Amino acid sequence: MTSFPHPDRYQQMEYRRSGRSGLKLPAISLGLWHNFGDSTRVDNSRALLRHAFDRGITHFDLANNYGPPPGSAEENFGRILREDFRPYRDELIISTKAGYTMWDGPYGDWGSRKYLVSSLDQSLKRMGLEYVDIFYHHRPDPETPLEETMRALDHVVRQGKALYAAISNYPADRAAEAIAILRDLGTPCLIHQPRYSMFERTPEHGLLHTLKDNGVGCIAFSPLAGGVLTDRYLQGIPEDSRVASGSKFLQENQLTDEKMEKVRKLNVVAQQRDQKLAQMALAWVLRDESVTSVLIGASKTAQIDDAVEMLAQRQFSEAELAAIEAALA
C-alpha cells in the first residue's frame, strides 16, 4: 500500500498562478459543499480528502454554512486536518467564506464587519486553525456599504487570520468596485469565485475581462452544472442520484427535454475527444487563461481521478469548440 501522502503527488497536477499574485493553485480544487457534513460518514470524507491530496490537489474550499447542517463541514474537516493533515498544513490552501445566513438575528448574515469578523473567528475555531489562506465574502450585500465589507476583509488579513482576501458571486460591476477598494486599502483581491459552466456563461459578459485586467484570479464553482454536464442522466434518473434524493440543488424539473438534448450532443463531442462528458466540461472551463482553477465536488474517489486525468487532454481544436457552441445553441 502506498504511503500517505503519495510521493509523486506534485507531478500529477498542474498549478496555475492566481492573477498577478505570488500564489499558485491546483487546476483542480476540491469543494466541501455537499459531501462533508454530518450526513456523510467521516471515513468517506477522510478518504476523499486523502485521495485528493495524493493526486496533487492542495486546495480545499469551505464556507461557514457548508454541511449540512451549517458549520459541520468545517468541523469535520478540522477533525480530519488534525488527525491526518497536520504535518502538511504548509502544503495546503484552505479557504472559507461568510455571507449567507449562519445564525439568528441581525448579525448572522450578509456583509457587515460585525458578521464577517465574528464568522471567521467561528470558522477558525471549528477547524482548529490559526489562519485560513483565503477568506471570501460569499455574496454581495445590497444594504451594507461595500467599503465596510472590504475593510472587514482587509482587517482580518492585517490581523493574520487570513493570508488573502477574496470575493464570490459578485457581478462584474460590483467586482470591479470591490477590487478597487481592496487595492486602495493595500490588501489586493486574490481571486473571485463565480458560477461558471457551459450552461452558465454570465462570467463571459464582462467579469472574466475585469478580473484579467486587474490581475485577479478566478476559480469556477459548479463547472458541471450540478451534475447535469455528466453522463449521469443520459439514460434517465438513477435511484442513487442527487435528483432522486430530492436535493434542492438539482431538481427533476431542471432536466428539461431541451437541456438533455444539448447534453446528448455534448456527450457525442466528448466521445469524439475520447473523454467523459464531465472531463470535457471541466477542460472547457479551464480553456480560458483567466480561470485559475475549477472547483469539483466528489462523493467517490473515482470522480477525483477523472478530474485529474482530464488535465492530460484539456486543449481544444477550433473545430471542437465550434461543435460545442453548436450543441449549446
Domain ranges of the chain: 9-230+279-315
Name the band, by pLDDT with cuts 50, 70 and 90, for residue 232: confident
List of residues 6+ apart from 1 with CB closer than 8 A = none
Percentage, residues of the chain above pLDDT 70: 93
Helix axes 146-159, 172-185, angle to 10 degrees: 50
pTM over 0.85: yes
pLDDT for 256: 85
Q: How far is CA 258 from CA 34, 253, 321, 327, in A?
A: 27, 12, 20, 11
Upper half-sphere CA count for residue 191 (Cβ side, 13 Å):
31
Give me the residue label for grid cell 498562478: 17
pLDDT for 308: 98
* Fold for the domain defined by 9-230+279-315: TIM Barrel (3.20.20)
Whether the upstream peptide bond of residue 87 has omega within 30° of 0, thus cis, is no
How does pLDDT run across 241-294, given as a tens digit for each residue?
A: 555 455 555 555 667 889 999 999 999 999 999 999 999 999 999 999 999 999
Torsion on CA atoms 182, 184, 185, 189, rounded to nearest 10: 20
Name the band, by pLDDT with cuts 50, 70 and 90, for residue 2: low
pLDDT for 91: 98
| 277's grid cell | 462528458
Q: Is 206 left (phi over 0), alpha (psi -120 to 50) or beta?
A: left
Please state, as a whole number, how many other Cβ atoms lie within 10 Å of the Cβ of residue 213.
11
Residue 33 has pLDDT above 90, yes or no: yes
How does pLDDT run across 148-203, given as a tens digit for each residue?
A: 999 999 999 999 999 999 999 999 999 999 999 999 999 999 999 999 999 999 99
The continuous run of DSSP H or E covering 53 comes out as helix 42-54
Residue 240 burial class via C-beta count within 10 angstroms: exposed 0-12, middle 13-18, buried 19 and up: exposed
Residue 238 has pLDDT above 80, yes or no: no
